[in-house]
């Protein structure tokens, strides 16, 4: 990926008592934030993938975003993001960055316990193609790029994810808290 390419990073802050969560998307490149996107998704819903796609496609950055970064493969609880669909529809690589190693078996169990068959189906279909690697002290799930290209996205993506999380948390709680 060309240095200085725009990245869209998405995160949210929610409570299980909420019916919806505000998702913040930070658009940036080379250490600069160039735009902010926002939309709402249902807590434990099925609309995260469409929300991200619509946010990018309907923005002035459509066609300019060259990668998407997420804080994990879910938004707003168990609203599973279809990473493969996101990659195909936007024609960009997608990475999901977490501090802790993804525990797929726990997510699978939570989806089963809650009767989230549609989300479980998306999850099972996606994990076949998603690779996990360590980069810059984070665990990265990625699709649509080889390992070397993906590593180049991580550092810039983490700072944008941090800003997205702080903004969403600040709006939700009145001040930012937690970390990406």
- pLDDT computed for residue 2 by the predictor: 58
- pLDDT computed for residue 3 by the predictor: 63
Q: Residue 25's closest CA among 16, 60, 17?
A: 60
In a domain, 180, yes or no: no
Task: Give the pTM.
Answer: 0.91
Number of domains in the chain: 1
In a domain, 178, yes or no: no
Average confidence (pLDDT) over 14-39: 94
In a domain, 42, yes or no: yes
Average pLDDT, the chain: 91
Per-residue pLDDT reduced to its tens digit, 63-118: 999 999 999 999 999 999 999 999 999 999 999 999 999 999 999 999 999 999 99
DSSP labels for 63-118?
TTEEEEEESSSEETTTEE--HHHHHHHHTS-EEEEESSPP-HHHHHHHHHHTT-HH
Per-residue pLDDT reduced to its tens digit, 150-173: 777 888 899 999 999 999 999 988
Name beta bridge partners: 67: 7
Residue 20 near residue 68 (C-beta atoms within 8 A): no
In a domain, 1, yes or no: no
Residue in this structure with the two tokens 């549609």, named with its chain if needed: 118
The CATH number assigned to the domain holding 33 equals 3.30.2170.10
Give the integer Cα–Cα distance in Å for 86 and 93.
Answer: 9
Residues spanned by the domain of 141? 6-173
In a domain, 117, yes or no: yes
């Amino acid at each position: 990926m060309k240095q200085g390419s725009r990245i869209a990073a998405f995160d949210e802050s929610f409570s299980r008592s909420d019916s919806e969560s505000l998702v913040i998307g930070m658009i940036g490149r080379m250490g600069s934030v160039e735009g902010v996107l926002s939309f709402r998704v249902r807590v434990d819903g099925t609309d995260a993938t469409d929300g991200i796609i619509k946010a990018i496609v309907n923005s002035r950055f459509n066609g300019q975003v060259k990668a998407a970064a997420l804080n994990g493969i879910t938004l707003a609880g168990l609203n599973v993001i279809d990473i493969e669909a996101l990659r195909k529809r936007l024609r960009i690589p997608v990475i999901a960055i977490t501090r802790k190693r993804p525990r797929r078996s726990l997510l699978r169990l939570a989806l089963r316990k809650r009767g989230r068959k549609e989300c479980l189906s998306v999850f099972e279909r996606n994990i076949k193609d998603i690779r996990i690697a360590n980069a810059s002290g984070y665990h990265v799930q990625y699709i649509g790029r080889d390992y070397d290209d993906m590593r180049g996205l991580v550092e810039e993506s983490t700072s944008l994810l941090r800003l997205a999380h702080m903004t969403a948390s600040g709006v939700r709680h009145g001040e930012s808290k937690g970390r990406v």
